[in-house]
Amino acid sequence: MRKYIAAALAVILFFLTYMPYQDIAHAASGYGWGFKKNDEHEIPDVGKYKQILEEHGAYYADHSGEKVVYLTFDNGYEGGYTDDVLDVLKKHDVPAAFFLTGHYVRSEPDLVNRMADEGHIIGNHSYHHPDFTIVTKDTMQEELETLEEAVAEVSDQEDIKYVRPPKGMFSEKTLDWANELGYIHIFWSSAFVDWETQQGWEHAYENIMDNIHPGAIILLHTVSSDNAKALDKMIEEMKNQGYQFRSLDHLVMKNKLPEPIYGY
């Protein structure tokens, strides 16, 4: 027993000695994004996070009451389905935002270029996908700027203004840092575990449609074959229900200006 206690103390001492104090503080104060789903097709309850995000100009949904939705995708690696997703978006003339990592940009330059060329927003998901709440400000800045440079090398999109934090981890400090660097945090109000075992397109379709609501920011992963197969039907049904698909620029612009600019 004494050996186990000694080993545990040694590990604690190591982290206290070699982990910067500010990183320890971040680890203790970081939040993992999440929300309480409901069956009423309303914006989910995010508790105290709502005020935190509002104070830092971040978004997880559109609270205007408009029957609009925003499609967003996280791309860490390619599973062979992104072309199919882009084909469906093009078919329905639906805008989307793709939050990319460095690995994705370096390994799939043609897909990145296609995203930008077809008018979709490319967002920053960091270069190496670290937890921002346990790194320094300089490291976070390097992660974001390196990703932005990589995207500019393979596409015409040279400026990235939206960031989605890796693993959904954030804090007041990381939100501040992103703002100082000119980034706007984009979270989500609709998502499900779509990157693991695939269970058929109906599973993806039902998970999204059961939780759709006016102003939803939907998070999907393009590594999911279920998502790729269900997307066409999702879009058609949402349109049948009166939903309109908008870009994140539409959401941000109408919140920053007293009158809407049409076309976004």
Three-state DSSP class for 6? helix
Other Cβ atoms less than 10 A from the Cβ of 197: the count is 7
pLDDT at position 17, please?
31
Encode pLDDT of 138-188 as tens digits. 999 999 999 999 999 999 998 999 999 999 999 999 999 999 999 999 999
Choices 3.20.20.370, 3.30.565.10, 3.20.20.140, 1.10.600.10: CATH for 2-256: 3.20.20.370
User: What count of other Cβ atoms lies within 10 Å of the Cβ of residue 91?
Assistant: 11
Q: Shortest CA distance to 153 belongs to which of 87, 209, 108, 184?
A: 108
Give catalytic residues, as residue numbers. Answer: 74, 221
Q: How many CB atoms lie within 10 A of CB 61?
A: 24
Average pLDDT, the chain: 86
- Domains in the chain: boundaries: 2-256
User: Could you tell me which residue, 137 or 9, shows the higher pLDDT?
Assistant: 137
